[in-house]
Structure 1
Amino acid sequence: MLHQPHSSSIYSLSDFDKAVACIKFYEGLHTKKDYPYIGYGHCIQPGEKLNWSLTKKQADALLRSDLKKLCVIFRRYGADSLLLATLSYNVGCGHILGNGKYPKSQLLLKIEAGDRKFHKEYLEFCKYRGKRIASIRRRRYTELRLLYNM
């Protein structure tokens, strides 16, 4: 028998809210020891006047604002823009789009070529300091399950 998600499950949320819930789950609420990150993984930028007394509601609003900005950056990728924005929230845009330090990712090259079989390339974004991390791979897998539109 096929499992039907309950209406109160994460699957009943909009794709954007699924992405927010996923990020919140894996990032957790950062504390003073996580500087320069606050809230649910927001990196404090020069000139920002943010402090550690951020409420959960403020942290949620900041996450949503950051994710919307990333969606705009990846807008040209259509149905994949939210998935790419969610990934870049964790790994940074440069690792995906390429910059002076990193080449354009194999993931993005496949998407640009119209190749919808990019699961392997997406799951490759599971390394920290060059080492594969099981918890990061679980996060990537969860993101794919929630946000991959086929």
Structure 2
Amino acid sequence: MMRAWTLPMLLVFCGSAAATGPILKGIPGTAAVLLSAFLILAFVNSPLIYPRSVDAREAQRRSAVDGRPIVFWRPGCTYCLRLRIRLGRAARRAHWVNIWRDPAAAAAVRAANDGNETVPTVIVADRPHTNPDPEWVREQLRRSA
């Protein structure tokens, strides 16, 4: 769990450090802009922007029942963030699995990607798709609804 928050906490710390200089120089507006930018980056890279993760076994069970895709992701991954943002509200219909929280999920991703933990890896009908086009994933979500 802590690993998922390392980058966001580091961004908050760096933003605080970057804002300290302008505050000490009497430029609070610049400090506020710097801190705000770092806080936004921290939020975007945090697990908060993603739908609640389940473990790999639970995602596979749910997908077998409802046919929805499984999305393996990890915090800090720009491609995962791109997928999440481009899916919009439809992202909540997929089963999201954080590979940093679930060793079985990381193993499943490595098995699908020649030993690499390449994310996002989307499983549709038991077939892995590495870093698929968000529009394709949206179509798969529509089909499973």
TM-score range, shorter chain: under 0.3
User: When you count helix as a share of all residues, which structure comes out higher?
Assistant: 2
Higher RCO (C-alpha 8 Å, min separation 6): 2
Whose Rg is larger? 2
- State TM-score, norm by structure 1: 0.23
